Amino acid sequence: MSNLEEQVAQLQAQMDAMKSQTPSNKLSMIVFSGDLDKALAAFIIATGATAMGMEVVMFFTFWGTPILRDKNKTVGGKDTMGKMFGTMLPKGADKVKLSKMNMGGMGTAMMKSLMKQKNVASLEEMIALAEELGVKIFICEMSMGLMGFKREEMISYEGVEYVGVATFLAEAADSKIQLFI
Amino acid sequence: MSDDIKVDKSLDLKGLACPMPVVKVSKGIKEVEIGQVIAAVTTDPGSLTDFPAWAKTSGNEILKSEQDGNEITFYIQRKS
């Protein structure tokens, strides 16, 4: 009899262990690219996933980081390299270019007007929608430091967090889907 | 409108492009009670496959869909 109880307890423990290993209904995405087309795809997938009932985490790193700069904010006190990165990298979602057929900005302008005509949301609108839908945004602390970006020049986004790779990996380990864009 | 299905809420999703139709339908379904039905009209050809995929994943049921020109109407019952 006590043997049976022991077995039940063992099974219970095994089931608890399995439960803790089952990933959540979550999508974790690394947004590495700073291209308009890829960023758009990232946000379409992210917002679509919330519609599918998933929790979504986006981790912006490297060239993806400047997408989240606020075009209306300027900060001082940067060193020479920081100023250089600040000038050379796009200042926010509106300034991001296509990865192909940019043609000195002409291609990007044409794509944007085409998107308007076809009623496809702009990248800025997609970011606002993601915020409304509760998509969580992490920004890579190291990329911020490397490129000399300051938190004060980033968009205000509900619940945005500045984190390292471990924080993202903890989310990714608990996700059903992980994407790198 | 279908004769045999009682619609509790209508959603006009015409002209919207991916991912807006599924984003809006997932919001809209939460505005009716479980068991009630929404009628969603889209013009996005992608929704022909997207709506069934969304319904399957979200645990809701498409009772019927009908196409009239480029307009597609889905009758969706909230199940969960």
Question: Cα–Cα distance between A90 and A180 in angstroms, integer?
Answer: 21
Tell whether ipTM is more than 0.90. Answer: no
Q: How far is the CA of A128 from the CAs of A25, A170, B25, in angstroms?
A: 23, 26, 18
Listed by start position, the domains of chain A span: 23-180
Residue A160 touches chain B, beta carbons under 8 Å: no
Collapsed DSSP state (helix, strand, coil) of residue A5: helix
What lies within 8 Å, CB to CB, of A76 at 6+ separation is none
The distance of B68 to chain A (nearest Cα, Å) reads 20
Listed by start position, the domains of chain B span: 9-77
Collapsed DSSP state (helix, strand, coil) of residue A101: coil
- For A:63-92, CB contacts with B below 8 A are none
Q: CATH topology for A23-180?
A: Hypothetical Protein Ychn; Chain: A, (3.40.1260)
Q: pLDDT (tens digit, 9 = 90+) per residue, A89-142?
A: 999 999 999 999 999 999 999 999 999 999 999 999 999 999 999 999 999 999
Question: Cα–Cα distance between A35 and A112 in angstroms, integer?
Answer: 13
Q: pLDDT (tens digit, 9 = 90+) per residue, B13-65?
A: 999 999 999 999 999 999 999 999 999 999 999 999 999 999 999 999 999 99
Q: CATH topology for B9-77?
A: Translation Initiation Factor IF3 (3.30.110)
What token pair was written down for A177? Answer: 């889907």
Is residue B18 annotated as a catalytic residue, yes or no?
yes
The distance of A148 to chain B (nearest Cα, Å) reads 34
Collapsed DSSP state (helix, strand, coil) of residue B8: coil
